[in-house]
Amino acid sequence: MTRSLEGKVAVITGAGSGIGRGIALRLAEDKAAIAVWDLNPEGAAETVKQIEAAGGKALAVVADCSDKAAIKAAADETRAKLGPITILVNNAGIAPFTPFMDVDDDEFDKVIRINLRGPWLVTKEIVPDMLAAKWGRIINITSSSTQSGSFAQTHYVASKGGLLGLTKALALELGKTGITANMIPPGSIDTPMLRGAPIDPEAYGASLPVGRLGQVADIAAAAAFLASEEASYMTGQTISTNGGRYMGSA
């Protein structure tokens, strides 16, 4: 079922490829106008091209989603061309594999800056639009590694764990304003990022309860639900889209 987001403007960070692109395409299918924020101009343009080819409305914005000035400029451009922003998907991130004792301070700081400080800054820039509208959806893409850990990714898991905490705190603080804040921790999703990881994707997918890797569309479907009116009574929640990698307690 298509959930209409007509009249809504959505920002998806890191939407020039992978999960971000999939979410952008799905929310455009549900009639939202999409601002594709990405460092890669070619990737952002390709996402916009695909959205427009399907009859949707989209804007490519080249921005470093961890830089405060760049975020403000991107938000101002989005508002000027599409309107106030009431849906935000914090998806941009990096996921390096480095053994704990080999992680230097610079690498740790880079991961935290992109994966945690970036979403903090983007959210702070956009929430005033949501408060003015008395309606908003914040969807943070975390990681199933925050639930299970991940080998040689202490800095990555720490950053995504921080994003998990931020999501819950936002849900508590903004709950009465019409804004929800939820998170999706993907499992192993078949993307270029996963293909570059030091694992055997097919073998890992076969080991999961569902017997396969996840697809971008699986995450996009969860995001579409959380962005919809149907999810208005859900906030601070974790939608574990992971093929059974982690099963939380009832």
Is the pLDDT confidence value at 250 over 60? no
Q: What is the pLDDT of residues 23-59, one digit of tens each?
A: 999 999 999 999 999 999 999 999 999 999 999 999 9
Q: Could you tell me if residue 212 is inside a domain? A: yes
Active site residue 204: no
Instruction: Tell me, yes or no, whether 249 lies in a domain.
Output: no
Domain residues for the domain of 71 are 9-231
What does each C-alpha distance from 99 to 8, 106, 107, 198 come to in angstroms?
43, 14, 12, 12
Q: Specify the higher pLDDT residue, 213 or 227.
A: 227
Given a cut of 60, whether residue 1 has pLDDT beyond it is no
Domain CATH for 118? 3.40.50.720
Q: Please report whether residue 248 resides in a domain.
A: no
The CA-atom distances, in angstroms, between 227 and each of 23, 58, 63, 80, 243 are 11, 17, 23, 22, 22
Measured between alpha carbons, how far is 132 from 10 in angstroms, rounded to an integer? 15
pLDDT, tens digit, 9 for 90 and up, residues 134-147: 999 999 999 988 88
User: Is residue 138 assigned to a domain?
Assistant: yes
140 in a structural domain: yes
pLDDT on residue 198: 58
- Secondary structure (3-state) at 126: helix
Q: Using the predicted structure, report yes or no on whether residue 183 has a pLDDT greater than 70.
A: yes
| pLDDT band, residue 194 (cuts 50/70/90) | low
Contacts of 27 (CB under 8 A, 6+ apart): 5, 10, 12, 34, 87, 89, 220, 223, 224, 227
Please identify which of the residues 156, 204, 233, 246 carries the catalytic annotation.
156
In this prediction, residues 115-143 reach a mean pLDDT of 98
How would residue 169 be classed by pLDDT, with cut points 50, 70 and 90?
very high
Task: Tell me if residue 125 falls in helix, strand or coil.
Answer: helix
190: pLDDT strictly greater than 80? no
What is the domain count for the chain? Answer: 1
Check residue 210 and give its pLDDT.
77
* Short-list 16, 7, 208, 6, CA closest to 93: 16
Amino acid at position 18, single letter: G
CA-CA distances (angstroms) from residue 119 to 91, 170, 206, 245? 8, 12, 33, 25
Nearest to 34 by CA among 54, 67, 212: 54
Tens of pLDDT, residues 49-97: 999 999 999 999 999 999 999 999 999 999 999 999 999 999 999 999 9
Domain for residue 69, yes or no?
A: yes
Tell me, what amino acid is at 10? A
Whole-number percent of the chain with pLDDT over 70 = 93
Percent residues over pLDDT 90 in the chain: 80
Residue 208 lies in a domain: yes
For residue 231, count other CB atoms closer than 10 A to its CB: 19
* Average pLDDT of span 153-182: 98
